[in-house]
Amino acid sequence: MNNQFEFSPCPLCNSFEFDLRYTAQDLIAQTPGIYSVVRCSACGLSRTQPRPLESCISNFYPSNYGPYAKRKLVVDEKKYRSNSSTWILVLKEVLKGMRRSLGVHPQNTLPIVKTSPVKLLDYGCASGGYLNNLDRAKYQLIGVDFSADALDDAKKLGLTVFCEPVAFSHFEPGSFDIITAWMVLEHLYDPIGTLRKLRHWLAEDGFIMISVPDASALQRKIFRGLSYDNHVPNHLIHFDTKSIKRLMNVAGFKVVEVRWQPNSRSLLLSVRNVLDACHLGRVSKTYVNIMDTRLGSLAAYFLGFVLALIRQSARIEIIAKKS
């Protein structure tokens, strides 16, 4: 692997001026190197410096990279949903009721569109895990991704998918009622260019819905280089609510809603990073095992709900329309 790196301007305002926030390493794929997370002096958007050249970024996405592989995650909130003992079911209903009454939406809840079927494009669909959970009678589903290997898995699920960068030629302007991009923009070299392309594909009254890590969350400020969501060098950009809104505006969108995902993953995995960094291997292993139990998964679910309520889950969703 012969990787080359570059110092890049701010993807939002093109300024080269920055202030250092902290340094970080690749704690996920464990590739060597120390990176800086810097804040643009002109507009406040944070980015990773230096960043790998676009020509070698694929070296940082191993075949077992999370969204591409169906590997087991350390904190599996699906376990909570599949749990069927009576008291768990009662607690589930109580939590659901609390969530509804307090206006916290389940993760990736789509806006309501009155066309039938709803034409939906998932940009950055990876192996199709998200699309495969949607109702195919209600939605006409299309996926786009950069990874041909991941798209092969999506095709096995019977999904219609296209590989970037050639996907552009497949769609007419205004083809989609909803476009989603889950945890994608922070990986892109030209997020504004990509958003403009998605805008071109979106119907005039359609919705775009994206999610990104929230770099302004308190846990990011506490854990700094050990925060799970740093994910350097794969995360080239570190958005907060202000900068993502501004980026969407520049690309021709008007943000209609910001949601904090009911998600405790970032916090729980950051704690694991701290334990590992302190060489507390046995404590870390015990911690992971506890989080992997039914009770641990339930606690993780409840914590995610509380974090969303106080806007500190470190994962945000943006719903926007064409401006």
Report the C-alpha gap between 226 and 114 in whole angstroms: 44
Is the Cβ of residue 19 or residue 149 nearer to Zn ion in the bound state? 19
State both tokens at 230.
Answer: 């740093």
Kindly tell me which residue out of 10, 151, 159, 244 binds Zn ion, with binding defined by CB under 5 A: 10
Taking alpha carbons only, the member of 184, 181, 193 closest to residue 231 is 184
Q: Which is nearer to Zn ion, 15 or 323 (CB)?
A: 15
> What's the start-to-end Cα distance of the chain, in Å?
43
Q: Contacting Zn ion (CB under 5 A), which of 5, 13, 130, 250?
A: 13
Q: Checking DSSP bridges between strand 51-52 and strand 5-6, what pairing results, if any?
A: antiparallel
Question: Which element (helix H / strand E) includes 280?
Answer: none
Q: With CB under 5 A as the contact rule, which of the stretches 8-16, 60-68, 150-158, 259-267 interacts with Zn ion?
A: 8-16
Q: What residues does 257 pair with on adjacent strands? A: 319
CB nearer to Zn ion: pick between 46 and 219 = 46
Binding residues with Zn ion: total (CB under 5 A): 8
* Closer residue to Zn ion (CB): 188 or 303: 188
73: region left, alpha or beta (phi > 0 left; psi from -120 to 50 alpha): beta
**Residue 40 or 298 having the CB closest to Zn ion:** 40
Interaction between residue 12 and Zn ion (CB under 5 A): yes
43 interacts with Zn ion by CB under 5 A: yes
Strands (E), the chain: 5-6, 18-25, 34-40, 46-49, 51-52, 118-123, 139-145, 160-163, 176-182, 202-213, 237-238, 253-260, 315-322
Task: Report, in Å, the least distance between residue 41 CB and Zn ion.
Answer: 8
State the minimum distance, in angstroms, from the CB of residue 56 to Zn ion.
25
Q: Report the alpha-carbon angle 33-35-38, nearest 5.
A: 175
CB proximity list for 76: less than 8 A, separation 6 or greater? 292, 297
For the bound state, the minimum distance from the C-beta of residue 39 to Zn ion, rounded and expressed in Å, comes to: 9
Interaction with Zn ion in 45-104: which residues (CB under 5 A)?
Answer: 45
| R_g of the chain, CA atoms, integer Å | 20
SS3 category, 48: strand
- Give the range of 10-18, 193-201, 210-218, 273-281 binding Zn ion by CB under 5 A: 10-18
The 14-33 site mask, x for binding Zn ion (CB under 5 A), equals -x------------------
Q: Is 42 in the site for Zn ion (CB under 5 A)?
A: yes
* 192 in contact with Zn ion (CB under 5 A): no
Where do the DSSP E strands lie in 156-201?
160-163, 176-182
Whole-number Å distance between alpha carbons of 153 and 269: 27
Stretch that binds Zn ion, among 37-45, 115-123, 153-161, 290-298 (CB under 5 A): 37-45
Told to check if 247 binds Zn ion by CB under 5 A, we report: no
Least distance to Zn ion from the beta carbon of 112, Å? 35
Q: Which of residues 212-231 bind Zn ion (CB under 5 A)?
A: none
Determine the interface stretch with Zn ion among 36-44, 207-215, 253-261, 289-297 (rule: CB under 5 A).
36-44
Residue of the chain from 40, 142, 244, 307 that contacts Zn ion (CB under 5 A): 40
Among residues 237 and 255, whose Cβ is nearest to Zn ion? 237
Are 315 and 261 in contact by the 8 Å Cβ rule? The answer is yes
Contact 311, 260 (CB under 8 A): yes
Footprint of Zn ion (CB under 5 A): 10, 12-13, 15, 40, 42-43, 45
